[in-house]
Structure 1
Amino acid sequence: MANQDSYTDTAMKMSYVFPWLWKVESRRLLWLLGLTFALIVTFQYVELPYSISSLFSSTKMPVSRNSTSLIGDRKHHNDNLTPAMVPSFSQNNATLVDDSDKEAAFQPSLPTSNSSPVKENATATAPVASVEAPAALPGLKPSPVKDNATVNVASAKVPAALPGLNQSPLKQNATLPTTSKVHDKNSTKEDVGDASPVVRFVPDIKENAKTTDSGVMSIYEMSKQLRRNRISHNRLAKVYVYKEGDKPIMHTPRLGGIYSSEGWFMKLIESNNKYVTKDATKAHLFYLPFSSQMLEETLYVKNSHSHRNLIKYLKDYIDFISIKYPFWNRTSGADHFLAACHDWAPSETRKHFSKTIRALCNSDVKEGFVFGKDTSLPETYVRDPKKPLSNIGGKSASKRPTLAFFAGQPDHGYVRPILLSYWGNNKDPDLKIFGKLPRSKGNKNYLQFMKRSKYCICAKGYEVNSPRVVEAIFYDCVPVIISDNFVPPFFEALNWESFAVFVLEKDIPNLKKILMSISERRYKQLQMRVKRVQKHFLWHVKPEKYDMFHMILHSVWFNRVFQISV
């Protein structure tokens, strides 16, 4: 009975305690829920804008952090890169890897499908998916494009890309070499260190490219200016060729001589059906079919030292087509292009073609060539227009007894007299440096020297360009380019540092030391790559994949797509 009373007592006490506990716990629970809710609201207030921003930031293209590293661990440089292009390297010393048994390092690809143009005058920022870059080409490999990316495309019609070139991808971890810093006077090392890839870019268009304090824009600086992400593509651009214009200045291709590049391109583009459209409203690019060589031969008044009438002729032509057609005025000529090889072309087209893409042999960044808009046209000396590919090739690397060769007019410009004063007249038996060689049938002496020399000196004349650059490649001779501020042909695509040597003009006294510092193994790889890129510098009566005609179109379209500020 006592136990029962005790149990009843306890039960009565608990009946008073539970309601109190319930009230206390309920308050605690409410406080906990309130605090949790407050934290969630605070978090959303702070983080939500960034979350929303990330969802709609497909118009921003961050540059890969690794893309700015010029020296680094090689094991990273191919892990995340698309295998459509070859990586570019810094000009710093790099160990060369013998890849003679690997896939060709310089293998471009051609797109085949047609593109649907965007609306006229489209200048708004567009997501990456809608903007396709030009074809993948040798010496280039893009860094991976992240999900959130943006590119401002130029006005007018922007299709997905150009004459293309679809290549089989390179093997994983394939590496390309680069020459040593040729301007390092004290460099005696061979095959020093490893180099990580440099992802090239085309900068916003500026009137004058920035040069270093010395006034010289080195090949290294040019590579740095090209370091940005690239976007792959698979579309085809269409070109409209204006039919207006009287011969011989218009529509008259000259196929021989040192200015033949403009003539061959004119001949091939005007007869092309794959890339050319007869319907101007479907065009993405517009070609201005004039010859700078014929302009000079027809209108220049001898000894007048004036180009005014030549410039006026071109202005009148632009005025005429801008009245007859709406296309020039639509973009101020930004989707138009020309190919001109004469030395005067940059000055003759500077004012009235300020937004036009100019393919120029005289590609001097200090004399009017706009880096990132204009493109470098190879200067090709075609001796026999009926056989443009005659005598191509040369001795193997082991059968070239001459270290270096040069022959040319000694009074052209200021560089050649310096070269001849240090190394001319057989002052060194390893360097065959001459003025003009005696005439021989078919220029055999000149050609034989190029075919039997390891290095062919390409020293500037009156202008930065020289036909010797392409000639050296024709004859399997490694080009040694002595021409400050010269933008090499197809620089948008080819990694020139992997198959050519660049020597600053001030380093001419150290020319032999620079060449001798390059190991035999390095030289053989340079020559191997010269043979590989040779196909990009050939003219064919009927254009073939990857040849000069396609490369010029590729470079023009590449610069059109990446004219961000136009």
Structure 2
Amino acid sequence: MACFSVLFCLLFSLFFIIAQSKPAILLNTSPYLSPTTILNYQKMVQNFKVFIYKPNKPFNYTTQAESLFYATLQNSHFVTHNAEEANLFFVPFSPDLSLRSLARFIGNLRTDLPYWNRALGADHFFLSCDGLGHDSNRNVVELKKNSVQISCFPAAGGYFIPHKDLTLPPIVYNPHALPENRTVRFLGYVRHKAVTSPSLIDELVNYREFCVETEPSDETTFAERLSSSKFCLFEYGNDVSWIGEALRFGCVPVMIADRPVNDLPFVDVLRWQELAVFLRSERVLGELKHVLHNTWRDRGERMKRSGAAASKHFVWNEKPEPLDSFNTVMYQLWLRRHTVRYARAE
């Protein structure tokens, strides 16, 4: 009887441990940093308000991502004409506006309206694909230091402040159809633009485990390449426009860089350490293959599923849809609405 009691206690304890650990196991397959992401997203959709300042004169952004974001923002339900109810303020200005003219524009906002001075611009945001350069003028300094800068990915070195600034994901208008049958043929796929200096990717051309090409012959071939590869290799700073497609097709991104990558799209939302592999650019070929084989064996299938779930955030729509690129960028702005109220300068 005593043995039975001990056995019962052991089985009950084991059941309790498994029951307690099950949510954690499920959470590990989620692409999100927080289990409350979807709930908080719904709150954002209902409550977020943005006031848009009037630019000095009409202008156009120079990139598709900026233009689409700005046009979508202007026509969205997030916009309010009552600045008093706004959570954040958008500062629109032309990409080719000189820093002197930009300083004058911010100075006018400071003088004519009360909102900039309340937080010295910390509850403001702006678009600048290449990033805002350095300047000694107080107005430009506050805009760069305090306001949220939305850049294009990858952001220009030196012009991006992690934990404050955001990046727009590359545009994917019409995602390729997923192949019905997936046959894995390659350890890694590289869509490689020719570079003048030697790189790790240059060494992969001679290895059959890797598919390296400058450009696929057509969209169908591109889709087949992604779906038949375990990993997709990206040299940070070169062409990363297809990272969303790689995630969608279950091709785990491998970011090869000589420094930490801190400007990934949706870095406040997605668990990038579970979605991608990060390697230093000085890795030799043998070490690269070893890391990729081990990663796929230990967590490749899980990363593939998480990436497919995360890929919906990389889709741009002419008319926004829930959790698409535009709305996820807005969600990241929503997360920044509780700004630090800096002491007003004398």
- How far apart, in 2, do the equivalents of 1:77 and 1:266 lie? 48
Q: Which residue is equivalent to 1:245? A: 56
Shift of residue 521, structure 1, vs aligned partner: 6.5
Which whole-Å deviations, capped at 9, do the CAs of 1:255-293 have from their partners, x for residues lacking one?
A: xxxx432222111110012x21011122110112346xx
- TM-score where L is the length of structure 2: 0.77
Matches within 5 A, 1:272-421: 272-273=76-77, 275-290=78-93, 295=95, 299=96, 310-341=98-129, 344-347=130-133, 351=141, 352-362=143-153, 367-378=158-169, 380-382=170-172, 388-394=173-179, 398-411=182-195, 417-421=198-202
Distance 1:535-1:452 versus aligned 2 partners, 3 A rule: same
- How far apart, in 1, do the equivalents of 2:282 and 2:180 lie? 31
- Say if 2:200 and 2:283, in contact at 8 Å, map to a contact too: no
Q: RMSD between aligned alpha carbons?
A: 3.7
- Say if 2:255 and 2:278, in contact at 8 Å, map to a contact too: yes
Distance 1:540-1:403 versus aligned 2 partners, 3 A rule: same
Give the unaligned 5+ runs of structure 1: 1-74, 81-85, 88-96, 107-137, 143-160, 167-231, 300-308, 383-387
Shift of residue 395, structure 1, vs aligned partner: 6.2
AA of the residue aligned to 1:554: Y
- Count of residues in correspondence between the two structures: 319
Which whole-Å deviations, capped at 9, do the CAs of 1:198-242 have from their partners, x for residues lacking one?
A: xxxxxxxxxxxxxxxxxxxxxxxxxxxxxxxxxx99972210112
Matches within 5 A, 1:188-203: none
Which whole-Å deviations, capped at 9, do the CAs of 1:392-435 have from their partners, x for residues lacking one?
A: 54566x523121111232227x6xx3123322xx311011234x
Aligned with 2:215 (options 419, 423, 437): 437
- Say if 1:333 and 1:353, in contact at 8 Å, map to a contact too: no
Q: Which residue is equivalent to 1:427? A: 206
- Say if 1:406 and 1:458, in contact at 8 Å, map to a contact too: yes
What's the secondary structure of 1:405's corresponding residue?
Answer: strand
Matches within 5 A, 1:58-97: none
What's the secondary structure of 2:146's corresponding residue?
Answer: coil
1:482 aligned to 2:256? yes
- How far apart, in 2, do the equivalents of 1:270 and 1:79 lie? 46
Distance 1:420-1:481 versus aligned 2 partners, 3 A rule: closer
Larger Rg: 1
1:450 aligned to 2:198? no
Distance 1:466-1:519 versus aligned 2 partners, 3 A rule: closer
- How far apart, in 2, do the equivalents of 1:238 and 1:162 lie? 19
Q: Which residue is equivalent to 1:264? A: 68
Q: Which residue is equivalent to 1:553? A: 330
- Say if 1:241 and 1:286, in contact at 8 Å, map to a contact too: yes
- Say if 2:178 and 2:223, in contact at 8 Å, map to a contact too: no
Shift of residue 490, structure 1, vs aligned partner: 1.3
Q: % of aligned pairs identical?
A: 23
- How far apart, in 2, do the equivalents of 1:326 and 1:77 lie? 56
- How far apart, in 2, do the equivalents of 1:491 and 1:246 lie? 33
Matches within 5 A, 1:500-515: 500-509=276-285, 510-515=287-292
What's the secondary structure of 1:523's corresponding residue?
Answer: helix
Q: Which residue is equivalent to 1:517? A: 294
AA of the residue aligned to 2:186: T
1:460 aligned to 2:236? yes
- Say if 1:460 and 1:482, in contact at 8 Å, map to a contact too: yes
- Say if 1:163 and 1:553, in contact at 8 Å, map to a contact too: no
What's the secondary structure of 2:230's corresponding residue?
Answer: strand
What's the secondary structure of 1:353's corresponding residue?
Answer: helix
Shift of residue 103, structure 1, vs aligned partner: 11
- How far apart, in 1, do the equivalents of 2:65 and 2:156 lie? 20
- Say if 1:359 and 1:556, in contact at 8 Å, map to a contact too: no
Which whole-Å deviations, capped at 9, do the CAs of 1:37-80 have from their partners, x for residues lacking one?
A: xxxxxxxxxxxxxxxxxxxxxxxxxxxxxxxxxxxxxx999969
- How far apart, in 2, do the equivalents of 1:164 and 1:564 lie? 23
- Say if 2:123 and 2:339, in contact at 8 Å, map to a contact too: no
Q: Which residue is equivalent to 2:33? A: 139
Distance 1:407-1:279 versus aligned 2 partners, 3 A rule: same
- Say if 2:188 and 2:231, in contact at 8 Å, map to a contact too: yes
Greater CA drift, 506-515 or 327-336: 506-515
